[in-house]
Amino acid sequence: MNAYEEYMKQVAQPMRDELTGAGFTELTTPEEVDAFVSEMEGTALVVVNSVCGCAAGLARPSAKESLNHTKRPDHIVTVFAGQDREATNRMREYLEGYEPSSPSMAVMKKGQVVHFIPREEIEDHEVEEIVANLTNAYDQFC
C-alpha cells in the first residue's frame, strides 16, 4: 500500500466506524458481496458509503436514523466506494439498471433491488426527506 492509500484508509476509518458502530456489516471483498447476496433471506439496506460531504452530512445519518422505524430491513450492509473498489464494483453489478452513485442506498429483497436512492436524491435534501424515502420503502417491502 502506498502512502496515499494508507492516508485515505486512515481518513475513511471514522466514516466506516459511523456505520459499523450502528450495526452495519461491512462487505470488503467481492466474495463477501457474492456470499451475502446469494444467501440473503428477507430484506436488506445496502449503503454505498463514500468520503464525499453528502455521505457524511446526509447519507450516513439518514441510514442510521431510518433504522429507528418500526419496520426495518432484516440485514444492513455497506460497501465503501473508493476504498474497497472490488467489493463496491461487485455490489454495483447487483444494482443493475442503476448508474453507479456514491453515496447511494438500495433496499433489496431476496437479492433484487426493490428501491434505490442515488446521490441526486441525497445531495441537497434534508435528512428527514431521505429518512422518509427509506422508511416508505421499508413499509412497502419489509
Per-residue pLDDT of the chain (142 residues; tens, 9 = 90+): 789 888 988 989 999 999 999 999 999 999 999 999 999 999 999 999 998 877 778 999 999 999 999 999 999 999 999 899 999 999 999 999 999 999 999 999 999 999 999 999 999 999 999 999 999 999 999 9
Distance, CA of 3 to CA of 89 (rounded, Å): 23
Distance, CA of 78 to CA of 117 (rounded, Å): 14
Q: How many domains does the chain have?
A: 1
Here the CATH number for the domain that contains residue 93 is: 3.40.30.10
Q: How far is CA 38 from the centre of its chain?
A: 17
Enumerate the active-site residues. Answer: 52, 54
Residue 120 lies inside a defined structural domain of this protein:
no
Distance, CA of 25 to CA of 62 (rounded, Å): 17
- pTM equals 0.95
Q: What is the residue range of 35's domain?
A: 25-114
